[in-house]
Structure 1
Amino acid sequence: MGRTLRSSSPPQDSGGLDPAGATPMMAQYIEIKSANPDCLLFYRMGDFYELFFGDAEIASRSLGIVLTKRGRHAGTEIPMCGVPVDRADDYLNRLIGLGHRVAVCEQTEDPAEAKKRGPKSVVRREVVRLVTPGTITEDRLLDPASANLLLAVGRRKTAETAFAYGLAAIDISTGRFSLSEVSAGELPGAIARHDPREIVLSEAIHADPGLARLWQETRAAVVPLAQAELEPAAADRRIKEQYGVSTLDGFGSFSRAEIAAAGTALLYIARTQLAARPPLAIPSREEAGATLAIDAATRANLELTRTLSGERTGSLLATIDRTVTANGARLLAEHLAGPLTDLARIGQRQDAVARLVDDSALRQICRDTLAGAPDLPRALSRVGLGRAGPRDLAAIRDGLASAARLGDTLARVPDLPAALAAIGQTLSAVDAGLVEILRASLAEDLPLSRRDGGFVRAGFHPEIDEARLLGQDSRKVVAALQARYAEETGCRTLRIKHNNLLGYFIEVPQSVGEACLKGLQKEFVHRQTMVDAMRFTSVELGELERKISGAADRALALEAQVFDDLAARIVAEAAGITAAAEALASLDVAASHADLAIENDWRRPVVDDSLAFAVGGGRHPVVEAALRRAGEPFIANDCDLSGEGRGRIRLITGPNMGGKSTFLRQNALIVVLAQMGAFVPAREARIGRVDRLFSRVGAADDLARGQSTFMVEMVETAAILNQATRHSLVILDEIGRGTATFDGLSIAWACLEHLHEANACRALFATHFHELTALGDRLARIDNATLKVAEHRGGVVFLHEVVPGIAERSYGLQVARLAGLPATVVTRAGAILKSLEKSQGGRSARARIDDLPLFANLAPPPPEEPPAPAAEDPLGPLLDAIDPDALTPREALEALYRLKRERAEALAG
């Protein structure tokens, strides 16, 4: 369920905390907390982030850490808890996952400087960023395979009571930025497609009664912002400031709703990132109808990216993901969430996959090289935000190096399809100079933070090498100077020593001091005469001492400058790096599809602009994968819904457990796979472009919304009947089963007629209402099909094969027996069923039921007798002796005649 968070606008109060009478440190805390009342404040104190007052109590409960006390304020003890700075990311991740927002407050002053202002002076601290679910950039807080989207919503009026909604989807961790506009009816499906971590919107949109349920039901955190801050002129200005332009004309044409959404997103980013400005791509506009429309209920029913329980494992995404890079995994998820409707783009993606399927050597080279490519977009984003470490620079180095190698590889391959050729050209344009400077400057073993130093390669920067030598090998430097002085003075007992009072000094024995230093008095300055020794210093030794004492700090400062120079060079090349990252991701996805197709024998579908839907030997990708792991085969089935001008409707009857739902879902998933540019689990497939995909398979009570199973079913069915077009594909399962028999039958009947006459779409309609099969004779575009069942020794065997025809029975009692219902219940159900099925002079079902005694009045069933021993099977030994695979046709015929003779003799005996 959605979590509504308060706006990050300036507070009107400080949560009841009064700094009067507080210690200087606590007064500072209260002041900073007052400026961030809607966030948990991580207040830096040495090696810990401390939390106080209500924040401490919340964090203690949320994180399971000890709550302690620190002094008193306003007559009561101050609750306190803390987390170590070096483990802060782990705790931040847990708090963000619970829907909290965190203000990170760092020390911005050296404690030594604070002491200069007085003994009671407090170190200056400032909030350096707000951490929220949609604005995370740290690797340890992010799922590598999933986008971390912040979604902003704006709107414009289109009629007296109607609105159009603009959506701005931004992933700060990668720089992705897209804009789109949808109607109110399309808004839930669009939000479900983006699957954001956080939604920001105006207070007016949040308060709209017609949208209240949407914000309550979303998985994302919802943050309303003050309406006064979201004026249209301000939105336009924020976009221009972000990109340093005076007009937006060069970016394309955006609607007022899209600009409002973009301005809302940029305002929130500025609030949370403070002085940092993330390197966002120029916003791309998603044209209406460019992707296959899939509503939220259909996404859930088909388990595209997560199962109904919310897990990735068991979803279609988990089944088809063969990517080897994090960036590729995110792009694959994006393609799956928004399959294309543009036939040319679908064909280009399929061409790339087909070439990699045919060229196994090229596919393997690509996958091996891609496996060594780090996550370029997220490393680049951290560099742009000033939060990068040395390993991020190395990630960019290694990612660009992999890109260059792949560019060279693709350049040598003739006759590449357009998509692969474009990828190759982009990768070949990588800045080799940037790669070389990063290789030359970065050490082999890199620390996590730039503050740790030691990341500049030895030999790259002479001054850093000198500072390191002094800092790490000062003894060797001093010993070398001592040896030179001893040689120059001829005094072998000369020593260079150090103490806290004099620092470094030259010491010679008193007895030889004058003689040893003769001729060097101009260089040596007398410092101290002892009983048995004389001490001197020199200009050279003084300079050396200053270098040694500041060597570590100087080395860190020089390395920081090198880091800043490298980061600036990377930011300057951001556009090229982003293009290379996108090309790598596209290549990874194409190679993933190819690898999957080879491994599972998937085929290239034909996708055109017709109303065809002909799948030969289709399979359910997730179920097939599960059966394969269990060593069992999957029964493939054909499906033809092709039509001229109007699609066909296949009405499917058959028992529960027969495979109806699997058959329905697999055809919907084949459409999704085909239009995202992948191969499909089928022997062959021709699919006319689908504009909208609807699936209502199964339902459950929604008690939080006060809706029963049947109400949920009707709401979802209404959306289908009101929105499906000729180019849509509709999957419906058991419409009307949630109410009384005749009510449900009537609703299902009317829905079928509406799909046939009004929607004129391609549809699969599974039902237990056998009466509906009569429509196959009355409506031209309805075909009847059923799931084959074999009866064996009083039970049933589900063959999972779809064939033309009508199911004569539902086999509900057999399924109940397989499920383990008590035998008395199954027997009683059989008797009731026979009574209900009787047709005696039009007697009512109630009258027929009255003829049956109540269960309580039935005589107890007789005790079960032990089964009689099975008679000896005369044919058993003969059958056991036959090996069918070793028989010739003539031998097989002779064996059959022999079995018939033996059976005849056994019966005669």
Structure 2
Amino acid sequence: MLEQYRRIKRDHQGEVLFFRLGDFYEMFAEDAVEISALLNLTLTSRNGQPMCGIPYHAARSYIARLLKYGKKIAVCEQVSEPGKGKGIVDRKVVEVITPGTTVDEDYLDKGNPNYLCALASGAKGLSFAYIDLSTGEFRATSFPFDGAAERIRQELERLQAKEMLVQESLLEEYPAVAAAVSERPSLVINRWADWLFDPQRSREGLEKQFGTASLKGFGFEDHDTEILAAGALLDYLDGTARSLLPHVRTLIRYGEEEFVGIDESSQRNLELIRNLRDGDVRFSLLETMDETKTAMGRRLLKQRLLHPLRDLALIARRLDMVETFYRDQGRLSALRDLLAKTPDLQRLCSRLAMDKAHGKDMVAVKNSLLSFEAVETLTGDLSLAFENTAGSLLDAGASGKLSSIRDLLEKGLCDDPSILLSEGNLIRDGYNRTLDDLKTLRDNGRGLLEQYLEEERAATGISTLKIRYNRLIGYFFEVTKMHLSKVPSHFIRRQGVAGGERYTTDRLASLESEINGASDKIVELEKNLFLELREAAKALIPELTAAAARLSELDVAQSLARAATVRLWVRPGVDGENRTAITEGRHPVVEAHLPRGEFIPNDVLLDGGGISFALITGPNMAGKSTYLRQAALITIMAQCGSFVPAKEAHIGLTDRIYCRVGASDNLARGESTFLVEMNETAHILHTATSRSLVIMDEVGRGTGTSDGLSIAWAVSEELLETIGCRTLFATHYHELSLISHPRMANRSMEVLERNGEIVFLRRLIEGAAAESYGLHVASLAGIPDPVLRRAQRIMDRLREKEQSLHEELFLQEKTAPQNPSAAVVPEELERILEDIRSLNPDRMTPLEALNRIHTWKSLVKGYTSKYRTHSKNDPPDLFESQV
């Protein structure tokens, strides 16, 4: 037996081999040592061979735990019956269960997809594909080698894939890509040899799967890079699932141009689907938007949240569907009640397609169809444009087929069937006449014996005749000595006893055989009838998949309508203008966790053709980070097709969203906090376009003041001058407010200072902040008073030194030779600087401020005309810097 074990184990290296021995799955050698420790099992040994085991009927719970540990399990079953003289029982691996290929409900997170992905190197770039075997979703893309590592991080963060196939040479040739893959400890990585990523083999595998002569119908040419990884996934599934995949019916190409680009760090910083603190869904945007009633609806909502659209027509269709239910609250409530009773039809379809659906699964399919019909009746008069092709093409003929299979399942299945095919209790009474007769025989066997006994008593005249049973000879007639003379000739003697004799008859033997065999026949017949029902349902996989897609879209639409109703969201206007105008916008997550009415709303005004850059200053705790994030979240919500938390919102289509907020190191990559900050900043400057939305907070704070200020200043100028994107730039470097640019506005979080106390009003106002109030925040945090007093004295000294340094610099400039090519502050500009020093912005009216600005503008204009002729040989940038 151990030789058999070793032979099978050689073909399943890297997998835990569950070796069936009677009522147990046993593990040996290194598997036993490792798994006994992981699962807290008793480790034993026989002849020095380590071993441990689990009961086969409890295997599911153990397998679920191993999958969470990232293990792959090969299930080795007995495939022949043990018998005397037959030698060792035949065994073979019937299934390989891995984190990315399982479809069993016990091993899956109901509300999250379960992705398996693949990465390969093609002639023109990297090939990337992913599949969720539990739903049949199958997509592929490609991207160039340049910037591949960041793109891989973005995809893996978005998908949260459980398992990945990677071309082995790719990990050697592209260390940055290898690092991006290996950084995710929960990802099971399979290194595959290069020869397994063969373009022709991949294409042929895909054509076989879809039953087509080519892939042109799916939008692919024979040599497209995307095919490489997609074909490898099917090859891998062929060796693990070991069954056909009829529910995988299409391969969808996707690219960055379809969705808003949100890189890995931005996804995390914005806390779209999990919070930064502990990675839980609580305090995330997903939690705030999620009012879904089905698992398949929640998965679709999550997918949409991570894939905001760039297609205006599709965004409008989604918003239309949400508004339809938002404006019909009675129908919305009824739809929510129906969806709450709807099982996960998507994943039921996958188990049905792979012949893994048991009795309870089939009852769930029936219940799903009951819900679907009720939902169709409720929404049938609405003009709803479904996005999913399968769901939108569900016609009356398909609906009729679904009704027929629902009736068949209703008629054929028990209300609470067994999940095993070997126990019976699957088929409803009245469905099959033969089965009913067998059940009658099994359940009424004693009554048939009593009836036969009465017949023999009457025929023989033996009033004391009895039918008895023992395990040795089965059923028999017992006749006392007094009546032996009355025994008829058809009685066959079986046994003599002290008080008489025991007999049988041909009919009694026949009844006994029928009664004893009825249970076995019932189990076998119920199994066959159940498989017929399952095959009938399996033939309608396309229609069932379409119904599931339709229910999913309806669930997402009602969820967003419900969230808009409860949280007072409004429909945004989304168009192609390069402009963001949000009136009284609110942070959806923060507001959801505050008492109603406590959140202070703020406007966001950014125009790619006008003021596109807003510099936000103000103290800590004043709400700068919340303000920045809410602008990005509202944009994402709008382009997902959701209502948004605002009084009014106009969102110009955005191609990418960047969130450079917060500071943390990345020890896994060997990067300090400041290096992480600079990496993220560099990525923004290299990839942002004029259609992007950039939010940046505290750029340059991770290094020295001079370095940090210089970097922040230069980054601001690059975003203003070169990229020209919509930008919210929060900083404590008040010096940045001196940047003068027609596309830049200075704004700040309002603070009220009263009797020495600071009140954060959390309201955005025009103009730069005068203070950071860091010592006040430190006091709130509980810093001891002596430390605060010392900090105040140091700050006063530093300010005096800074002021004297400025005065010294201005004095040097005034006494320097009047050479326009030198860094001189002429009289006109010095007047402006003196005027600025004397200002008290808190006591100025808006009209006074405007008048002062007009005065400065006249002075600058005069300076320009005075000195421009003397600087005609200077480089333009030098002259402009002087101005």
Judge same fold: TM > 0.5, yes or no. yes
Deviates more, 1:543-552 or 1:569-578: 543-552
Residue 60 (structure 1) aligned with residue 21 (structure 2): no
Residue 375 (structure 1) aligned with residue 344 (structure 2): yes
Q: Corresponding residue for 1:891?
A: none
Residue 394 (structure 1) aligned with residue 363 (structure 2): yes
Distance 1:478 1:792 in 2: 100
**What amino acid sits opposite 2:578 in the alignment?**
L
Question: Structure 1: which 5+ residue stretches go unaligned?
Answer: 1-24, 846-909
Distance 1:489 1:373 in 2: 63
Residue 225 (structure 1) aligned with residue 189 (structure 2): no
Deviates more, 1:183-192 or 1:633-642: 183-192
Deviates more, 1:98-107 or 1:537-546: 537-546
CA displacement at 1:467 relative to structure 2: 2.8
CA displacement at 1:277 relative to structure 2: 4.2
Q: Corresponding residue for 1:36?
A: 12
Q: Corresponding residue for 1:852?
A: none
CA displacement at 1:316 relative to structure 2: 1.0
Deviates more, 1:454-463 or 1:655-664: 454-463
- 1:215–1:551 Cα change, 3 Å: same
Alignment equivalent of 1:147, drawn from 98, 113, 119: 113
Q: Corresponding residue for 1:801?
A: 763
Distance 2:332 2:26 in 1: 52
Q: Corresponding residue for 1:848?
A: none
SS in 2 for 1:250: helix
Would you say the 8 A contact 1:350–1:678 is kept in 2?
Answer: yes
* TM-score normalised per structure 1: 0.84
SS in 2 for 1:772: helix
Residue 183 (structure 1) aligned with residue 144 (structure 2): yes
**What amino acid sits opposite 2:746 in the alignment?**
N
Would you say the 8 A contact 1:380–1:392 is kept in 2?
Answer: no
Q: How do 1:190-201 and structure 2 match up within 5 A?
A: 190-201=155-166
SS in 2 for 1:179: strand
- 1:526–1:61 Cα change, 3 Å: closer
**What amino acid sits opposite 2:535 in the alignment?**
A
- 1:268–1:418 Cα change, 3 Å: closer
- 1:283–1:483 Cα change, 3 Å: farther
Measured against aligned partners, the alpha-carbon deviations of 1:282-332 in whole angstroms (never above 9, x if no partner) come to 212224411111111100110111112321222111121100001101111
* TM-score normalised per structure 2: 0.86
- 1:717–1:41 Cα change, 3 Å: same
Residue 172 (structure 1) aligned with residue 133 (structure 2): yes
- 1:650–1:480 Cα change, 3 Å: farther
SS in 2 for 1:657: coil
Distance 1:840 1:48 in 2: 79
**What amino acid sits opposite 1:808 in the alignment?**
A
Would you say the 8 A contact 1:470–1:551 is kept in 2?
Answer: yes
Distance 1:765 1:122 in 2: 74
Distance 2:513 2:538 in 1: 36
Distance 1:367 1:727 in 2: 38
CA displacement at 1:415 relative to structure 2: 5.1
Residue 271 (structure 1) aligned with residue 236 (structure 2): no
Residue 635 (structure 1) aligned with residue 600 (structure 2): yes
SS in 1 for 2:476: strand
**What amino acid sits opposite 2:602 in the alignment?**
N
Q: Corresponding residue for 1:594?
A: 561
- 1:417–1:806 Cα change, 3 Å: same
**What amino acid sits opposite 1:35 in the alignment?**
D
- 1:427–1:809 Cα change, 3 Å: farther
- 1:402–1:487 Cα change, 3 Å: farther
CA displacement at 1:135 relative to structure 2: 0.9
SS in 2 for 1:838: helix
Residue 49 (structure 1) aligned with residue 25 (structure 2): yes
CA displacement at 1:653 relative to structure 2: 0.3
The percentage of counterpart residues that share the same residue type is 39
Measured against aligned partners, the alpha-carbon deviations of 1:491-539 in whole angstroms (never above 9, x if no partner) come to 433333333443333344454455463xxx5x65555666754544444
Deviates more, 1:380-389 or 1:322-331: 380-389
- 1:80–1:546 Cα change, 3 Å: same
Q: How do 1:234-633 and structure 2 match up within 5 A?
A: 234-253=201-220, 256-275=224-243, 277=245, 279-308=247-276, 309-411=278-380, 413=381, 426=394, 429-430=398-399, 431-512=402-483, 515=486, 517=488, 521=489, 525=492, 527=494, 533-628=500-595, 633=598
SS in 2 for 1:559: helix
SS in 1 for 2:607: coil
Question: Structure 2: which 5+ residue stretches go unaligned?
Answer: 808-883
Distance 1:106 1:445 in 2: 28
Measured against aligned partners, the alpha-carbon deviations of 1:838-888 in whole angstroms (never above 9, x if no partner) come to 14884599xxxxxxxxxxxxxxxxxxxxxxxxxxxxxxxxxxxxxxxxxxx
Distance 1:748 1:573 in 2: 60
Distance 2:188 2:195 in 1: 22
- 1:545–1:252 Cα change, 3 Å: farther
Would you say the 8 A contact 1:470–1:547 is kept in 2?
Answer: yes
Would you say the 8 A contact 2:611–2:744 is kept in 1?
Answer: no
Distance 2:685 2:794 in 1: 37
Measured against aligned partners, the alpha-carbon deviations of 1:580-619 in whole angstroms (never above 9, x if no partner) come to 0010010000000000000010000011011120001111
Would you say the 8 A contact 2:79–2:89 is kept in 1?
Answer: yes
Distance 1:52 1:422 in 2: 48
Q: Corresponding residue for 2:731?
A: 767
**What amino acid sits opposite 1:337 in the alignment?**
L
**What amino acid sits opposite 2:266 in the alignment?**
T
Would you say the 8 A contact 2:319–2:643 is kept in 1?
Answer: yes
Would you say the 8 A contact 2:20–2:78 is kept in 1?
Answer: yes
- 1:484–1:793 Cα change, 3 Å: farther
Alignment equivalent of 1:699, drawn from 642, 645, 663: 663
**What amino acid sits opposite 1:205 in the alignment?**
L
SS in 2 for 1:291: coil
CA displacement at 1:713 relative to structure 2: 0.5
Would you say the 8 A contact 2:386–2:392 is kept in 1?
Answer: no
SS in 2 for 1:451: coil
How many residues are matched?
Answer: 797
Aligned CA RMSD, in angstroms, stands at 2.4
Distance 1:56 1:516 in 2: 66
Q: Corresponding residue for 1:655?
A: 619
Alignment equivalent of 2:744, drawn from 782, 797, 820: 782
- 1:514–1:116 Cα change, 3 Å: farther
Q: Corresponding residue for 1:829?
A: 791
Q: Corresponding residue for 1:758?
A: 722
